[in-house]
Structure 1
Amino acid sequence: MKVIIEKLQSRGHQVTVVRTNDSWYIQETSPLYTSITLEVDSGFSKDFITSFVDHLLSIHREGNAAWTRFKLKMEQGQKASLLHEKTAKLLQSMFEKKNLVESLLRAKYDLVLTDPAVPGGVILAGYLKLPVVFNVRWTSHGEGHFAIAPSPLSYVPMTGTEFSDKMSFFQRVLNVLAFVFENYQIANYITPHYRGLINKYLGPDVNYYSLFQKADLWLMRVDFVFEFPRPTMPNVIYIGGFQCQPAKPLPDHLEEFMQSSEKHGVILMSLGTFVSELSADVADKIAAAFAKLPQKVIWRYKGAKPSTLGNNTLLVDWMPQNDLLGHPKMKLFVAHGGTNGVQEAMYHGVPVVGIPLFFDQYDNLKRLTDRGAAIIVQLTSVEKDNNFLEALQEVLTNSSYRTNMQRLSRLHRDQPIAPLDNAIFWIEFVMRHKGAAHLRTESYKIPWYAYYSVDVVFFLAAVVLSNLVSLSAFIYCLCSRVCLKTKHKRD
């Protein structure tokens, strides 16, 4: 969000950010925006996320891949339920503060910009009756496309399956089961928390899903260089890699380290913000693998120093990831597979060795492996054998990975307008025209049986059946009369 807010502010727009006092990233004071701070527990505190991620990592190490994946899915669903319970209470608290609500209405905002992964902003926009723009990859109930675009399960893989758009029969069976399981989780862990709230404050005719489906614009954080081809809608604008930019000069100490790698180059490793340290045995295995390589390594890691750490490896608390990936000495990115990191690697043409941990990371890396630009290594195999070292050596020595990633980079960059500029144009478009209803399908207002033409099928079936019955009755009567005449003649 910060990237978009910076750009909006630079173009003279005034931005107000609604935040909670336990917000992890969003500061109360900033030259970019005015903040409204809610004294409410959001559920998305640093302590909550850290303990949750630690628990998920412990599940990861239990072994059995299928059972581990199922346990991870159930655990994520249960924790999501707690988060949504707190989000509903947060919204309830907001709506009960009459002075706050009146000030929001008096401000006459042009639109609400929100990430619908948590529906607080979505429901607030519905309450204020303002145009809505999503900065989106995920909604609170799944991958964004599934909320508004036709999504045939025959070639649109569910998140978590790691399938591509070319599925075998058995994979299509599993894909349907994954769809059923995800909808079961949504029905049990998410929508019940908001049903009463929406009914009370937005009205009995407002449906939870319709709040998402009537959004004016979906700024989708992928593009079809990365995503598998699938149906889409006119109000979905693809801005994949919008946060990427040409590399800036590095701080002196990092530039000196990069140059010291000479002809061998540098490997960058980061498992994202949520995983800043690992268990000692896993960290030792990773460090030992790095120590056997001629390349230098920059590893974002906050845990205790691994006992096997080689002289070629630099541990850092923070690093300018985009600028490092864009450095000519960069040879390889060891990543967890988060959307931002994958997009930055693709933008700069750096091949990936992926260690997926949870959420969408498996599927993000699957999209790169299918295009020959990455190798996936499971966390359990990192600590048990030499798979990690072999994967590093394979990507470093086999030039096809780098060639394939650079081809993706050229495709991604070859656009008539930069993704961030495209996003800003469409946000301002919604401001100018007070929405973008002409791009939005009204299908969400249609009952499910009409959407899937169930009523039409039953009507046509009834017509055909009626005609068949009538024809059968006519033939029966005709045959009866013929038989009757024949009998009379015989008599």
Structure 2
Amino acid sequence: MKLLLCCSVMLLLPFLAPRVCEAGNILVMPSEGSHWINMDILLQALHSKGHNITIVLSDKSWYIKENSSYYTAYTVKVDRYLEKVLIKKIISEFIEFERGALPLSHFLHMSVGMLSMFTDVQRIIGEFVSAVLDDQELMRKLNDTKFDLLLTDPCWGSGVILAKYLNLPLVYNVRWLIASEGHLAIAPSPISYIPITGSGNTDKMTFLQRVHNMVLYLVVKSQNYLASKLVYQPISDKYLGPNYDFYQLLLDADLWLMRVDFAFEYPRPTMPNVVYIGGFQCKPAKPLPQDLEDFVQSSGEHGVIIMSMGTFVSELPADITNEMATAFAKLPQKVIWRHTGSRPDTLGNNTLRVDWMPQNDLLGHPKTKLFVAHGGTNGVQEAIYHGVPVVGLPLFFDQYDNLLRLKEAGGAKLLNIKTVDKDNNFLNAIQEVLNDPSYRRNMQRYSRLHRDQPIEPMDNAVFWIEFVMRHKGAAHLKSQSHSLPWYSYHSVDVVLILAGAGLLVVLIMFISIRCLCTAMCKAKLKRD
């Protein structure tokens, strides 16, 4: 009997054991800055599962390392690339403009004035993918490796073209699709209650806000169209042939790993191939380096404030940093400030200025009381995960909208770059958030909502990437909506046909009744 039972268990083991994916070959076309930071975390997780990772990068890349223990890198020489100095220069000019801009000029600058800069950046990326495809030796190696899929961030269009060229399933680590938020392209997006990024609206809009939302929606669609047609379509035509529309290729990814979740995102329609992995880069805090731990512990009962303006903004204008330093010096808390610019004249003894800090570990430290941040997606998600309230100073892109969601949840106070250095606004905002316990209470509630999931976001991301590898794609999850022309998608042609048929029926009935009436009148005249 025991022998029979053992044999039965042995036979059932293949079915009872969790499904695994054999080690796969994953090709990666990453982007720079904070987008690379979260992509890198995902690659480490995939490597830990036994997958082979290969990255194609520029020889002028300033974030992605050529040598790594968990991926192989192919470096492509290019004439120009997104230099860090250029990005910082663009951002500095943008900040100076914002400080003196009126609302109308701000809108025009964001929607029209930055269009040229935006397309120039995408042209540089276009030159990079052209250099990749022109490198015959590299393309031979990539073809010979037999990759299972290509993983990319679609804020740049390079990975889309390479995936089609190599005929690989395409997976996105996504928040942005070139110029717009990813949902706008892949899922139905009623503009009446879905705020466009940059609008500053919530999902509860007045009539004028809905007008503003619609105008921004049209601007974003135009920017995406222009970037697709002016930059990437010629490259697609050259390397893939004239029968492929780049924008359709962009929407045809097998899987969209969306870097938000519905604890953060407003409720909205979605699609089967959209998987939400918001906060996948967050994890429990590790012990701090000893020097940082000593500084944090020296804060006593008052605790610590940390401040970072993200990957691209390492320093602010001198008058603003001096005002911030003055405000920090008046606080009983210790401050850790990621600031690489000149030392502010008013920097207090309670403030530690650093070039880099372990942000996630500091946010998870029990003595951290407040996070002063610009509102980038990574920092916002980490603040939510650890339940730390925020004083936000948004500058551009999605930062205001990210912080607005925290403000609506009661976990953040928002400041404006125009007025942050006036009337003690910065100090007052910090003191309000520190002294009002509702901010921390609301962020901790937000944290519980975010963490209460049946599967960890990173495990979810890895599962679905392996799913695409196991099944050579995920065509059964892809909607055909993106392949329809706009008039078919909105059923304009059907409405016109039905309206025409209805009018024809009415017209026939009218003519029939008129003919009948005429015949009856003639018969009556004959009898008379």
Q: TM-score range by the shorter chain?
A: over 0.9
- CA offsets 1:148-205 (integer angstroms, 9 cap, x no match): 1101101111110011111111111111111112222233344311222212222222
AA aligned opposite 1:403: R
User: Matches of residues 65-144 of structure 1 in structure 2 within 5 Å?
Assistant: 65-144=103-182
AA aligned opposite 1:26: I
> In structure 1, how many angstroms separate the alpha carbons of the residues matched to 2:324 and 2:293?
24
| Alignment CA distance shift 1:131-1:46 (3 Å) | same
Q: Does 1:305 align with 2:343?
A: yes
> In structure 1, how many angstroms separate the alpha carbons of the residues matched to 2:128 and 2:335?
44
- CA offsets 1:392-440 (integer angstroms, 9 cap, x no match): 1111111111111100101111111111111111111111111111111
> In structure 2, how many angstroms separate the alpha carbons of the residues matched to 1:339 and 1:191?
28
> In structure 2, how many angstroms separate the alpha carbons of the residues matched to 1:100 and 1:261?
54
Match of 1:185 among 223, 232, 256: 223
What secondary structure does 1:311 align onto? coil
> In structure 1, how many angstroms separate the alpha carbons of the residues matched to 2:124 and 2:270?
32
Match of 2:377 among 329, 339, 351: 339
- CA offsets 1:89-122 (integer angstroms, 9 cap, x no match): 2222222232222221111100001011101011
Match of 2:212 among 158, 174, 191: 174
Q: Residues 240 and 343 of structure 1 are in contact (CA less than 8 Å); yes or no, is this contact kept in structure 2? A: yes
Q: Which position in structure 2 is the counterpart of 1:43?
A: 81
> In structure 2, how many angstroms separate the alpha carbons of the residues matched to 1:52 and 1:363?
21
Q: Residues 335 and 351 of structure 2 are in contact (CA less than 8 Å); yes or no, is this contact kept in structure 1? A: yes
> In structure 1, how many angstroms separate the alpha carbons of the residues matched to 2:362 and 2:296?
9
Match of 1:416 among 454, 459, 475: 454
Moved more, 216-225 or 392-401: 392-401
Q: Structure 1 residue 228: deviation in Å? A: 0.5
Match of 1:12 among 45, 50, 53: 50
> In structure 1, how many angstroms separate the alpha carbons of the residues matched to 2:393 and 2:501?
57
> In structure 1, how many angstroms separate the alpha carbons of the residues matched to 2:435 and 2:527?
97
Q: Structure 1 residue 146: deviation in Å? A: 1.1
Q: Does 1:395 align with 2:433?
A: yes
Moved more, 1-10 or 200-209: 200-209
Q: Residues 228 and 247 of structure 2 are in contact (CA less than 8 Å); yes or no, is this contact kept in structure 1? A: no
Q: Structure 1 residue 136: deviation in Å? A: 0.5
| Alignment CA distance shift 1:404-1:42 (3 Å) | farther
User: Matches of residues 301-450 of structure 1 in structure 2 within 5 Å?
Assistant: 301-450=339-488
Match of 2:102 among 30, 48, 64: 64
Q: Structure 1 residue 75: deviation in Å? A: 4.2
- CA offsets 1:463-486 (integer angstroms, 9 cap, x no match): 101001011111211222233334
What secondary structure does 1:269 align onto? strand
What secondary structure does 1:83 align onto? helix
Q: Residues 327 and 427 of structure 2 are in contact (CA less than 8 Å); yes or no, is this contact kept in structure 1? A: yes
Q: Which position in structure 1 is the counterpart of 2:325?
A: 287
Match of 1:265 among 303, 308, 314: 303
AA aligned opposite 1:165: D
- CA offsets 1:334-358 (integer angstroms, 9 cap, x no match): 0000000000000000011100001
What secondary structure does 1:15 align onto? strand
Q: Which position in structure 2 is the counterpart of 1:246?
A: 284
What secondary structure does 1:218 align onto? strand
User: CA RMSD of the aligned region, Å?
Assistant: 1.4
Percent of aligned pairs with the same amino acid: 54
> In structure 2, how many angstroms separate the alpha carbons of the residues matched to 1:54 and 1:235?
38
| Alignment CA distance shift 1:291-1:65 (3 Å) | farther
Q: Structure 1 residue 42: deviation in Å? A: 5.4
Q: Which position in structure 1 is the counterpart of 2:274?
A: 236
Moved more, 50-59 or 240-249: 50-59
- CA offsets 1:205-250 (integer angstroms, 9 cap, x no match): 2111211221111110000000101100011110000000000111
AA aligned opposite 1:433: H
Q: Structure 1 residue 88: deviation in Å? A: 1.9
Q: Which position in structure 1 is the counterpart of 2:236?
A: 198
Residue-pair matches, total: 490
AA aligned opposite 1:161: S
> In structure 2, how many angstroms separate the alpha carbons of the residues matched to 1:143 and 1:220?
10
What secondary structure does 2:168 align onto? coil
Q: Structure 1 residue 385: deviation in Å? A: 2.2
| Alignment CA distance shift 1:286-1:301 (3 Å) | same
> In structure 2, how many angstroms separate the alpha carbons of the residues matched to 1:316 and 1:99?
43
Give the alignment's TM-score, normalised by structure 2.
0.90
Q: Residues 17 and 34 of structure 1 are in contact (CA less than 8 Å); yes or no, is this contact kept in structure 2? A: yes
Q: Structure 1 residue 380: deviation in Å? A: 1.1
Q: Residues 80 and 190 of structure 1 are in contact (CA less than 8 Å); yes or no, is this contact kept in structure 2? A: no
Q: Which position in structure 1 is the counterpart of 2:20?
A: none
| Alignment CA distance shift 1:444-1:42 (3 Å) | farther
| Alignment CA distance shift 1:144-1:314 (3 Å) | same
> In structure 2, how many angstroms separate the alpha carbons of the residues matched to 1:215 and 1:385?
50
Moved more, 353-362 or 37-46: 37-46
Q: Which position in structure 1 is the counterpart of 2:521?
A: 483
Q: Give the 4+ runs in structure 1 shifted more than 4 A.
A: none
Q: Residues 271 and 336 of structure 1 are in contact (CA less than 8 Å); yes or no, is this contact kept in structure 2? A: yes
> In structure 2, how many angstroms separate the alpha carbons of the residues matched to 1:91 and 1:298?
40
Q: Does 1:453 align with 2:491?
A: yes
Runs of at least 5 residues in structure 1 that lack an aligned partner in the other structure: none
Q: Structure 1 residue 387: deviation in Å? A: 1.6
What secondary structure does 1:61 align onto? helix
Q: Structure 1 residue 41: deviation in Å? A: 4.0
Q: Residues 62 and 68 of structure 1 are in contact (CA less than 8 Å); yes or no, is this contact kept in structure 2? A: no
Q: Which position in structure 1 is the counterpart of 2:199?
A: 161
Q: Residues 387 and 444 of structure 2 are in contact (CA less than 8 Å); yes or no, is this contact kept in structure 1? A: yes
Give the alignment's TM-score, normalised by structure 1.
0.97
Q: Residues 411 and 439 of structure 2 are in contact (CA less than 8 Å); yes or no, is this contact kept in structure 1? A: yes
> In structure 2, how many angstroms separate the alpha carbons of the residues matched to 1:404 and 1:66?
34
Q: Which position in structure 2 is the counterpart of 1:28?
A: 66
